[in-house]
Amino acid sequence: MSSPPAIRWEGDELHLLDQRQLPHRVEYLRIDGIADAVDAIAALAVRGAPAIGIAAAYALALAARRSGDVAGVLKDGGDALIAARPTAVNLRWAVERLRRRGAQEPRAAALADEASAIHREDAAACRGIGEHGRSLIKPGGNLLTHCNAGALAVSELGTATAPMYLSHQAGVSFHVYVDETRPLFQGARLTAWELGAAGIDLTLICDNAAASLMAAGRIDLIIVGTDRVARNGDVVNKIGTLNLAVLANHFGVPFYVACPSSTFDPDTPSGQEVIIEERAGDEVRQQHAAEVAVFNPAFDVTPATLVTGVITERGIARPPLAESLFDLLIAG
């Protein structure tokens, strides 16, 4: 792998890779407080459910050290961070984890330790996802992925891409079709860039070309990431994921979701209860001259019934997902 880290915590300084500039420029934003972190998360300078959780954790630690008001930072700063992107559960999960640590040890140093632990655990989770998922990738197979659930969205290796990286390192020959992922082209700008830099064989496709590929029998496996998995196994991920799941079900293509256990949200019964972030219409209108009305949801909900399995660091949960996810990630 050769893509730069999404998050750098160096000497109590927080720097976030500005992913809006990729693939043309590699630039880091220095985060000096909660407001900077909220802006970076809301503007998608840092993105990917695990990555924004890690970034938020470090931002809280940094703000607490600089202000000395640990309780105030955790309350007000935590609320501001959670509100920056309401759909991804890792953001709230990380904030609540630092709040619990702060209640036990109201010191900025303790918060920094907790943020670093979240960062390390995410790296280990990504590797675990890769190890459990790599058996799904067969020599000569053709994969399809959507958006960016790669190294840029987490600490390293990615979630959906982790099995790809480990299979590639093991010498397995396979090919990946990468959805461009409109309207912000995370697949084209980020996934194609990082997989290509790693030497993985890939082809970039328009989002609406996936059906033709499946109809022609040219897709053997789909792996996507997710921003939240509800208690019943419903998957909330980048808009367009539901399209792929419906197509995969029709054409008999295995459809897998990859995520760390921190993305499983047992407190939310189903995807219908998840707040779906709607983003500015200009993200879509940039391709058009006319001032037209725009509907621009950032995510959609894929029903658990369309998911072949959920790849986690603890193993692969298979249907019925409501039972297997709970047994694997909570009871176990």
pLDDT tens column, 141-192: 999 999 999 999 999 999 999 999 999 999 999 999 999 999 999 999 999 9
User: Catalytic site residues?
Assistant: 227
Between CA 285 and CA 96 the distance in angstroms is 36
Nearest to 145 by CA among 49, 254, 284: 254
Residues 82-96 have pLDDT tens digits of: 999 999 999 999 999
pTM value is 0.96
Residue 58 has pLDDT above 70, yes or no: yes
Query: Of 8-12, 176-180, 257-261, 318-322, which gets the smallest average pLDDT?
Result: 8-12
What local confidence, expressed as pLDDT, does residue 3 receive?
Answer: 83
What local confidence, expressed as pLDDT, does residue 291 receive?
Answer: 83
Question: Where does residue 268 fall: left (phi above 0), alpha (psi -120 to 50 degrees), or beta otherwise?
Answer: beta
Between CA 251 and CA 243 the distance in angstroms is 12
